[in-house]
Structure 1
Amino acid sequence: MKKSLEEHAARFDEKAGAYDDSKSEEYHACANLVVEHAAAEPDDTVLDLGTGTGAIALALAPDAARVVGRDISEGMLEQARQKADEASLENVEFGHGTFREPDYEGPVDIVTTNFAFHHLSDDEKREAIDVIAALEPRKFVLGDVMFFGDPDPDDPFYTPAVDDPATVGTLADALTDAGFSLTAVERVHDQVGVLVAERNPTGSDVAADE
Structure 2
Amino acid sequence: MKKTVDEHADRFDDHAPDYDDEKTEEHHRSAELVVEHASPEPDDVVVDIGTGTGAIALALAPDAGRVIGRDISEGMMDEARSKAADAGLENVEFGYGTFREPEYDGDVDVVTSNFAMHHLSDEAKREAIAVIADLGPRTFVLGDVMFFDEPDPDAPFYSPDVDDPATVGLLADAFTDAGFSLTAVERIHDQVGVLVAERTPTADVEDASDE
- Compute the displacement of 1:33 (Å): 0.2
Deviations 1:142-198 (A, max 9, x none): 000000000122335211110000000000000000000000000000000000000
Q: Among residues 184, 202, 205, which one is paired with 1:203 in the alignment?
A: 205
CA distance in 1, matches of 2:208, 2:168: 29
Residue 188 of structure 1: aligned partner? 188
Q: How does 1:49-198 map to 2 (within 5 A)?
A: 49-198=49-198
Q: How does 1:2-41 map to 2 (within 5 A)?
A: 2-41=2-41
Residue 48 of structure 2: aligned partner? 48
CA distance in 1, matches of 2:91, 2:108: 14
CA distance in 1, matches of 2:98, 2:122: 15
Q: TM-score when scaled to structure 1?
A: 0.96
Divergent runs of 4+, >4 A = 204-207
Deviations 1:99-147 (A, max 9, x none): 0000011000000000001000000000000000001100000000000
CA distance in 2, matches of 1:157, 1:173: 23
Alignment root-mean-square deviation, CA: 1.5
2:111 is paired with a residue whose SS is: strand
CA distance in 1, matches of 2:48, 2:155: 27
Number of residue pairs aligned between Structure 1 and Structure 2: 207
Report the residue type matching 1:77 in the other structure.
M
Percent of matched pairs sharing the same residue: 73
Q: TM-score when scaled to structure 2?
A: 0.95
Deviations 1:41-100 (A, max 9, x none): 101000000000000000000000000000000000000000000000000000000000
- List alignment gaps of at least 5 residues for structure 2: none
- List alignment gaps of at least 5 residues for structure 1: none
CA distance in 1, matches of 2:141, 2:3: 26
CA distance in 1, matches of 2:186, 2:102: 26
Pair 206,135 (structure 1): closer, same or farther in 2 beyond 3 Å: closer
